[in-house]
Structure 1
Amino acid sequence: MISATTIDQIFEATRVEEVIGDFVNLKKAGSNFKGLSPFSDERSPSFMVSPVKQIWKDFSTGKGGTAVSFLMEHEHFTYPEAIKYLAKKYNIEVEETEQSNEQKEQANERESLYLVSEFANTYFKKILHKTDQGKSIGLSYFKERGFTQETIEKFDLGYSLDEWQAFTDKALKQGYNIDFLQKTGLTIVKEDKRFDRFKGRVMFPIKSMSGRVLGFGGRILTNDKKAAKYVNSPESDIYHKSNVLYGIYHAKQGIAKEDNCYLVEGYTDVIQFHQAGVKNVVSSSGTALTSEQIRLINRLTKNITVLFDGDAAGMRASLRGIDLILEQGMNVKVCTFPEGEDPDSFAKQNTLEELTLYLNENAKDFIQFKASILFEETKNDPIKKAETVRDIVNSISKIPDRIKKEIYIQECARIMDISEEVLFSTLAQINKKEFQEQNKQLKKDQKAFEVVKHQEPVKKVDVQYVLERKIIEVLLLYGNKVEDFEDLVLKENDKGELVLEPVIHQAKVYEKIFLDLQDDEMEFSNAQFKTLYYSIIDALNQNPDFELKSFINTVDNQMSNEITAILMEDERYTLDDWKRMNIFPKEKIQSIAQLVSETILSLRCFLIDQKVKEFQQETLQSKNDVNRTILEEVKDYSGLKMLLSRKLNRVL
C-alpha cells in the first residue's frame, strides 16, 4: 500500500507534458501541446496536452485525463503501477510491501501475465550473474560480443539454464500459476509434462515504451541444427510482436531529441549502437516491419533511417517495408554498411564520431537507394528496367504529400534516365487504379450507410445539458476566484411596473453559483454532472487552496475523463492552427463574472420555457376555471423571461 503522503508528493512533482512526451512527439500549439493520437491511426494531430490544466485530451477517441490515467490507458498499468512509474521517473522513494501469494492470485489475468514476465526477467538476470553456468556460458557470450557490464545491466540481459524445467519449478515454488506461465509462453505444457521454452538460451527482454516486460527473445549458443537460433515469446494478451519494437524504451528520448529513428534488424544491433553512443535505434526483432510498429515511431518522429548490412537478398526483402513507411507520410532514408559488415560489427569497430560520420555521409534518400539497387540488376535488360521503374513509381504513389511526389518523380527521372512525362503518366495510372478500388469500397460503404441513415433520427441539442456542463467548467476553472457580480433584484418602479435593478456585490465564483442555484431551487438533470457539482462545491468549500490538478487525481477514471472532456473542448480549435492562416479566434472569456451571470441567466430562461410548456399541457387537460390561474402564471413567467432576455441582450 502506497502512503497518501507519497502519492501527494508524486502528484506535485508530475508534469503531464513530460510524462506523455516520453510516448508521443508533442509540438507547441499556443499555451498547449499537440501530437498524433497514440490510440488511433491518424495523420493530422487530434491529441492535446494542457500544461496549465495538467490534463490531456484525445479528440479522435474521446479519451482524456491526467498523467496517471494516460499511463493506465496507454500502458495498461494498474493505478499503483502508474504511481510507481511516476515515482521512478521523478526519483521519489516509494515504500511498498511484498505481494503475498494470495494477492498474486487475486490479480486480474492481464496483470498476472505482467507479474510472471517481471519475475522471469529478474530470474534470468540472477541466473546470468549468480550461477556458474550463467557466468561461464551466458556472461561469457555477452562479453565476447563486446558488451560492457553496464550495458548488460541496462538492457536486463539474462540466461536460462540448460535444464528442462529449472525456471518453471522456481516460478511454481514462488507461487506463480502454471496457467499464466503457459500463456506468456515461458513454459510449454504437453500432456502432463512441462518444459522451459528458453532452455539453454541467452535472454533479451522485450519491453514496452514505458519499460514493462512484454516478452522475451532467446538465442541458443550450441550448434544444435534442429533448434532455432532465435526463439521469441508467442503472442499473448500482453505481447503482440507486430505492435512492439525492441529497444523503444531506451530509444524514445533519443528519437525525440534527434528527430530521427534508426531501424535495424536484430537485438545485438540495437545494443551495440546504444553502447557506442547512438541511442535513437530500435529493431523489429527479426519480424517483417508492420504498420503498427511504424506508427509507434511516428509518435516520436517523422524521420526513419533504415540500416541494412551488405546482404543484397536481405535488402530487397526489406525494401517492401519502405512502402509501408511512406504510406504513413514519413520521410525515409536508407544506409548500407560495407560488404561483410552489419550494424553490430560496424558499431563495435568504430568510435562514436566515426559511426556518426558514416551514417550522415552514407544515408541516402529512399528513391536514390531503391533506384541504385534495382538499376544495377536490370541495366542490361529493358523489360526488367521497365518493371523496376514501375516498382519505384509505385513506391512514390504511396506518399500522401503531392509536392514530395513531384520531387521524387523528378529525381527518379534523373537517376533512371527517363522522361518525367512518362513517369507522371505511370503515376496517374497507378493512382487511377487505386482510386477505382477505393471508389468501389466507398460505394459498398454508402449502400450500407443508406440502410442505417434513415433509421437514425436527427439529434436535437440538449440545452440544459450544455448549460449544466458550462457550470461545471466554470467551477473547475474559476471556482475560487473572487469577482464583482451584478445581481438583478426584481422591483416595482414609479409606474408600478416590474423591473430588474442591478446590485453589485463581491463573492467567490463557486459561492455565487451555489447560492443562485439554491435560491431558484434549480437541480441538475444530468446525474453525472450532479455528482460532479456537489464534489466540486465540497472541495472548494473545504480547501481554500483548491487546485484543479489535485482534484482530478482524487476522482475515478470515468469522472476524470468527463472533467477532461469539459475542460479541453474549447482547446480543439488550436489543433487547426488558425493563426497560420491569419485567422485569430476571439478569446474564450473576457469577464468571468459576465460568463457566470450569462450561464445562470440562460439556465433560468430555459427552465422558464420548460415551465410554460408544462402550463400549456395542463391547460389542454384542465377545466376552464383553472385556465385563468394558469394563464396568470404564464403571464408572470413570460414577463420574467422578457426581463432576463433584456439582460442577456436577446430579442424575443
Structure 2
Amino acid sequence: MISQNTISQVFETARVEEVIGDFVQLKRAGSNFKGLSPFSDERTPSFMVSPSKQIWKDFSSGKGGNAVTFLMEHEHFTYPEAIRYLAKKYNIEIEETEQTDEEKAKIDARESLYLVSEYANSYFQKILHSTDQGKAIGLSYFKERGFTDEIIKKFQLGYSLDQWQAFTDDALGKGYKLEFLEKTGLTIVKEDKRFDRFKGRVMFPIHSMSGRVLGFGGRILTNDKKAAKYLNSPESDIYHKSKVLYGLYFAKQTIAKENNCYLVEGYTDVIQFYQTGVKNVVSSSGTALTPEQIRLINRLTANITVLFDGDAAGLRASLRGIDLILEQGMNVKVCTFPDGEDPDSFAKSNSLAELQDYLDANAKDFIQFKASILVEEANNDPIKKAETIRDIVNSISKIPDAIKQEVYIQECAQIMDISENVLFSTLAQISKKDFQEANKNYKKEQRAFDVVRNSGETKQKIDVQFELERKIIEILMLYGNREEVFEDLILKEDDISGDLLLEPVKQEAKVFEKIYLDLQEDEMQFSNEGFKTLYYSLIDQLHQKEDFSTKDFINQLGQDLASTVTSILMEDEKYNLHDWHRNNIIPKVKDDTVSQLVSQTILSLRCYLIDRKVAEYKNQTLKPDLDSTTIIEDVKDYLGLKMLLSRKLGKVVGGYNVK
C-alpha cells in the first residue's frame, strides 16, 4: 500500500494541466485551458482545465475532478495506479506500507488482465535479450531491420520461444491464473490442452496512451504458409483494436508539439520513423482506420498526413479512411513513396533531413491525391471521369466546415477542368440527400421517443432545494473564508405610529460563519446527502484553517464527492468556452456581490421551505374530521413570514412548485 506521505507529495507536485496535456491538446482560454472532450465525440471544445484550482471539467459528459480522477476516468486506473503513474511522471519515490488481505482482495479482474499483460511484456523482453534462441532468432531479426539496442528497449520489443507452452508454464509457475492468461489471449485453451498464442514470434507490445500494456502484435519468422504473418491479441476487457493506435504513447507529445501526425500501416514503419527522428508517427496496426482512432489523434492535433506504400495494392480502398478523417473535421494530406518503397524501408535508407524534405515536398492535399489516383483509373473515359468527380465531391461533402468545402470545390474545379457551378450543384444534391436521410432517421427516433413520452413519462421538474443547496456549497468553496459586510433587515416598532418597520443593520463576518448561523437559526437541514456531507466537512475545515485551499479539500475527498465539487466550481467556466467576452456578452461576476449572493441564497431557501410547509398544511386540511382552525392560523403565520422575507429580498417571491 502506498504511504500517505507519498500520496501527499504527489498531490503537491502534480499539475493538472501537465497531466491532462499528455492526453488532450489544450489551448489557453483566459486563465484556464480548453480542449476537445476525451470522453465524447465533439468538434467544439467543452473540456476545461483550471490551473489555479487544479481541477478539470468536461461539460459534454459531466465528468470532472483533479489529476488523479482524470487518470481514473480516462485510463481506467484504480486510485493506487493513478498515484503510481503520477509518482513516476514526477520522479517521486514511492514509499510502501504493508498491504492487508482485504486490500489485496480488492484487485479486480480488470486489474489482473493488466498485471498479466505487464508480466508477459517483461517475459518476452527477457527471452529476447537473455536466451540463446531469443538472441539468435528474435534479436537478429530486429538487428536486420536496422533497429538499434536503444530503440528495441524503447519500444519494449520481445520474443516468444518456439515452444508450445513455454510462456504459459512460466506464468502459471509465477502464480498468474490461467483464467486471465486466456482472457488476454496470451494462452489458448482447448479442452484439456493449452498453448502459447504467440509461439515462435517476435513481439510488439501495444500500449495505451498512458503507457499500460493492452495487448501484443506478433510476427512469425518462418515460412509457414498456414500461419498468419502477423497475429494480434484478441479483443478483451482492456484491449479494443478499434480504439488503439500503435506508437501513440511514444508519439503524443511530439504530435502536439509539431501539430501534425503521420499515420502509417505497420509496427516497423512506426519504429523506423521514430529511430530516424520523425517521432510524431502512429499506426492503425493493419486494421481499417476507425472514427475512434481518428478522435484519439484529434485530441492532440487537427492535422493528419497519411503515408502509403508506393505499390500498395489496396490504395483505393484506403481512400475510405480519408473520408473518415474529413468527417471528423480534420485536415488531411497524403504522401506516397517511390515504387518498391514503404515508410520502413525509406526511413531506413535516408537521413532525418532527407526524410523530412521528402515528406514536406510530396505530401499532397487530399483532393490532389485522390484526383491523381482516380483520374489515372478513368483513363480518358468520360463516364469514369464523371464518376471520379462525383467521388471527389462526395469526399468534400464530408467536411463539416462550409468555408473549407468552398475552397476545396474551387481547387477540384481547377484540377478536373470543370465549372464550379456544376460542382456546387452536385455538392448541394449530395448534401440534400444526406440531410434527408438524417432527417428521416431523426423522425424515426422522434416517433420512438414520442411513444415513450406518451406512455406516461413526465417532464422532469427543477429541484429547487437541490439547486439552492448546491449554491451554498459553491459559495462556501469560493468565498468561505472571506470577510464581508452583511446587511440584514430587523423588524422594529415605530415609536410614534406603532407600525412594524424593517430597519437595516450591518454586521461584519466571515461568509461561512454567516451561512452557518443563519441555517442554525432556522434549523434548516440539507436534503441531499452528498451536499450535507460536503457542508459539514467544509464548515469544519473553514473553522480550523485560515489558509483553506480548495485544491487540498478536493484531494481528500472520494471520487464521487470530488466530481460533485468540481462540477460546482467549474460551472461558470463554460462561459469562457464560447468567448462570450469577445461578443460583448459579459457574465455577472459573483465576487462583486458576495454578501448579496449569500443573503439571497439563504432567503430563497427559507422561502422555498415555507412554501413546502404550507403545502403540507394544505394537504392536512383535506383530511375529513379534522379541525383545521389551528392549521389555518399556522398557514397565515407562514405566509406573513414569507411576505417579510420578500421585503428583505427586495422583491416579490413567487410560489415554488411543491407538493
TM-score by length of 2: 0.94
Q: 2: CA distance between counterparts of 1:281 and 1:480?
A: 50
Residue matched to 1:199:
199
Q: Which deviates more, 158-167 or 499-508?
A: 499-508
1:481: Cα distance to partner? 2.2
**C-alpha distance after superposition, 1:405-429 (max 9, x if no partner):** 1111111111111222222222222
Q: Secondary structure of 1:313's match?
A: coil
Residue matched to 2:657:
none
The amino acid that maps onto 2:485 is D
Residue matched to 1:564:
566
Q: 1:384 to 1:622 in 2, by over 3 A?
A: closer
Q: Secondary structure of 2:49's match?
A: strand
1:238: Cα distance to partner? 0.7
Q: 1: CA distance between counterparts of 2:500 and 2:354?
A: 87
Residue matched to 2:536:
534
1:520: Cα distance to partner? 1.3
The counterpart of 1:601, out of the listed 582, 587, 603, is: 603
Q: 1:620 to 1:441 in 2, by over 3 A?
A: closer
Residue matched to 2:56:
56
Preserved CA contact (<8 Å) 1:104 1:112: no
Residue matched to 2:510:
508
Q: Secondary structure of 2:164's match?
A: coil
**C-alpha distance after superposition, 1:163-184 (max 9, x if no partner):** 1111101100111010110110
1:210: Cα distance to partner? 0.6
Q: Secondary structure of 2:179's match?
A: helix
Query: How many residues are matched?
Result: 651
**C-alpha distance after superposition, 1:475-502 (max 9, x if no partner):** 1112222223334443333233333433
Q: Secondary structure of 2:234's match?
A: coil
Q: 1:496 to 1:465 in 2, by over 3 A?
A: farther
Q: Which deviates more, 324-333 or 614-623?
A: 614-623
**C-alpha distance after superposition, 1:190-245 (max 9, x if no partner):** 22111111111111100010111000011112222222111110111111101100
The counterpart of 1:522, out of the listed 502, 510, 524, is: 524
1:616: Cα distance to partner? 4.1
User: Does 2:349 align with 1:340?
Assistant: no
Q: How does 1:306-325 map to 2 (within 5 A)?
A: 306-325=306-325
1:99: Cα distance to partner? 8.5
Ranges in structure 2 where 5+ consecutive residues have no aligned partner: 654-659
Residue matched to 1:33:
33
Residue matched to 1:416:
416
Q: 2: CA distance between counterparts of 1:558 and 1:294?
A: 31
Preserved CA contact (<8 Å) 1:409 1:424: yes
Q: 2: CA distance between counterparts of 1:95 and 1:317?
A: 53
Residue matched to 2:580:
578
Q: How does 1:420-431 map to 2 (within 5 A)?
A: 420-431=420-431
Preserved CA contact (<8 Å) 2:203 2:219: yes
**C-alpha distance after superposition, 1:416-458 (max 9, x if no partner):** 1122222222222222222222222122112112212233323
1:551: Cα distance to partner? 1.5
Q: 2: CA distance between counterparts of 1:22 and 1:110?
A: 24
Preserved CA contact (<8 Å) 2:515 2:598: yes
1:610: Cα distance to partner? 3.0
Residue matched to 1:462:
463
User: Does 2:319 align with 1:305?
Assistant: no
1:630: Cα distance to partner? 4.8
The amino acid that maps onto 1:584 is I
Preserved CA contact (<8 Å) 1:524 1:530: yes
Q: 2: CA distance between counterparts of 1:642 and 1:106?
A: 56
Q: How does 1:79-478 map to 2 (within 5 A)?
A: 79-96=79-96, 107-454=107-454, 455-478=456-479
Ranges in structure 1 where 5+ consecutive residues have no aligned partner: none
Residue matched to 1:14:
14
Preserved CA contact (<8 Å) 1:104 1:176: no
Preserved CA contact (<8 Å) 1:23 1:252: yes
Q: Secondary structure of 1:286's match?
A: coil
Q: 2: CA distance between counterparts of 1:472 and 1:353?
A: 58
Q: 1: CA distance between counterparts of 2:102 and 2:354?
A: 55
Preserved CA contact (<8 Å) 2:311 2:341: no
Q: 1:2 to 1:624 in 2, by over 3 A?
A: closer
The amino acid that maps onto 2:227 is A
Preserved CA contact (<8 Å) 1:208 1:244: yes
1:635: Cα distance to partner? 4.5
Preserved CA contact (<8 Å) 1:246 1:283: yes
Residue matched to 1:640:
641
The amino acid that maps onto 1:142 is F
Q: 1: CA distance between counterparts of 2:463 and 2:116?
A: 49
**C-alpha distance after superposition, 1:64-86 (max 9, x if no partner):** 22211111111110110001111
Q: 1: CA distance between counterparts of 2:196 and 2:616?
A: 74
Preserved CA contact (<8 Å) 2:335 2:359: yes
Preserved CA contact (<8 Å) 1:47 1:60: yes
Q: 1: CA distance between counterparts of 2:319 and 2:357?
A: 24
1:615: Cα distance to partner? 4.3
Preserved CA contact (<8 Å) 1:499 1:643: no
Q: 2: CA distance between counterparts of 1:389 and 1:97?
A: 68
The amino acid that maps onto 2:493 is E
Preserved CA contact (<8 Å) 2:333 2:366: yes
Preserved CA contact (<8 Å) 1:101 1:175: no
**C-alpha distance after superposition, 1:324-360 (max 9, x if no partner):** 1111111100111122221112222222222222211
Q: 2: CA distance between counterparts of 1:515 and 1:143?
A: 75
Preserved CA contact (<8 Å) 2:235 2:241: yes
Q: 2: CA distance between counterparts of 1:189 and 1:613?
A: 67
Q: 1: CA distance between counterparts of 2:633 and 2:458?
A: 37
Q: 2: CA distance between counterparts of 1:302 and 1:225?
A: 41
Q: 2: CA distance between counterparts of 1:121 and 1:155?
A: 11
TM-score by length of 1: 0.95
Q: 2: CA distance between counterparts of 1:35 and 1:447?
A: 35
Q: Which deviates more, 564-573 or 333-342?
A: 564-573
Identity %: 76
Q: 1: CA distance between counterparts of 2:513 and 2:599?
A: 13
The alignment yields a C-alpha RMSD, in angstroms, of 2.2
Q: How does 1:624-635 map to 2 (within 5 A)?
A: 627=629, 630=631, 632-635=633-636
Q: 2: CA distance between counterparts of 1:534 and 1:103?
A: 29
Q: 2: CA distance between counterparts of 1:204 and 1:609?
A: 67
Residue matched to 1:481:
482
Residue matched to 1:491:
492
Q: 2: CA distance between counterparts of 1:100 and 1:381?
A: 76
Q: 1: CA distance between counterparts of 2:166 and 2:40?
A: 42
Q: Secondary structure of 2:570's match?
A: helix
Q: 2: CA distance between counterparts of 1:620 and 1:190?
A: 72
The amino acid that maps onto 1:31 is S
Preserved CA contact (<8 Å) 2:308 2:315: yes
The counterpart of 2:546, out of the listed 537, 544, 547, is: 544
Q: Which deviates more, 599-608 or 252-261?
A: 599-608
**C-alpha distance after superposition, 1:137-163 (max 9, x if no partner):** 212221221212221111111111111
Q: 1:625 to 1:98 in 2, by over 3 A?
A: closer
Preserved CA contact (<8 Å) 2:590 2:597: no
Q: Secondary structure of 2:305's match?
A: strand
**C-alpha distance after superposition, 1:462-487 (max 9, x if no partner):** 22221111001111112222223334
